[in-house]
Structure 1
């Protein structure tokens, strides 16, 4: 009888340790996914901070392309306001759908801006514009890596 009690206690202890271990792994995976989302946020903030400098520098060359510049700034402001809002959580599906749409609109506006820059050789040759465009391209690459890390973390968590 005494051996049965010790065996029962050992099984219970093993199950508790196993349960705690699984719980800790799930918490670690959830935190990794949240960290991945935060890294995307950091890179998007970086992109949002670069855009006004780029537009200001380009304004002196593109006086007749005001619509393109306005579209870029409006898309940037909308995306940044969603990012800065208190609802900006990876768990909120509605907010994330709005946020993804705003970032998509910003990417589209930046694509149009890049096309405009390509059409003006004097603008393309400006060293400040060139540096800002390179920095923006670098940031876009970082966003891609951060998204991949986030996707991998979420897949592991699931």
Structure 2
């Protein structure tokens, strides 16, 4: 009889661990951390763009000061975007996500205006190189946002479906993360960069 107790205790422990594993005890935080990591990738690409902008503005300033308004807009949009921070723990707040999206959209639009206002600079090597780098950065931003949204969808689905929903609510109090959705007109598209060689 006494030899059955350890077996029964082991069986009970094994059953509970399987039950807990089936309730998202590990999969929910794993999915959440994956989404936060993808968000960090988004922020990294926006930071890359912010770092390139001062060089672009300096290049344009050196070529001519007649369009100071646009340079001021680009600089202000960059400064505004740098002030709007969104940590991984704030990804459940749609209002903060929209503020972040609006700030980044303002940078995109100001870069489009700058590119349109300086057709004569397209022949200059520095300007062309910087605009090409910005175009590549915009593409990286798009990919990073897509990867983030995919991770958010996986996490949100996991915390809403059985059996992971049980552990998500009981152990973590999990809330859905907010996906990226462009709110600024034109922000969903990368700035058009045409160096005059389009057919």
> Same fold per TM (> 0.5)?
yes
Quote the offset at 1:82 in angstroms. Answer: 1.4
Q: Using the alignment, how far apart are the partners of 2:33 and 2:88 within structure 1?
A: 18
1:26 is matched with 28
CA distance in 2, matches of 1:88, 1:20: 24
1:58 aligned to which of 57, 60, 64: 60
Task: Tell me if 1:38 matches 2:40.
Answer: yes
* Structural mapping, 1:119-134, within 5 Å: 120=120, 123-134=121-132
Q: How many residue pairs get matched?
A: 154
Larger RCO, structure (CA 8 Å, separation 6 or more):
1
SS at match of 2:137: helix
Q: Aligned partners of 2:65, 2:100: CA distance in 1, in Å? A: 30
Gaps of 5+ in 1: none
TM-score by length of 2: 0.69
Q: Is the 8 A contact 2:39 2:88 kept in 1?
A: no
How big is the alpha-carbon RMSD for the aligned residues of Structure 1 and Structure 2?
Answer: 2.6
Note the residue ranges of structure 2 that are not aligned, 5 or more in a row: 157-199
Q: Within 1, Cα distance between the matches of 2:69 and 2:29?
A: 47
The structure whose residues are more often helix, as a share, is 1
> What is the CA-CA distance between 1:115 and the residue it aligns to?
0.6
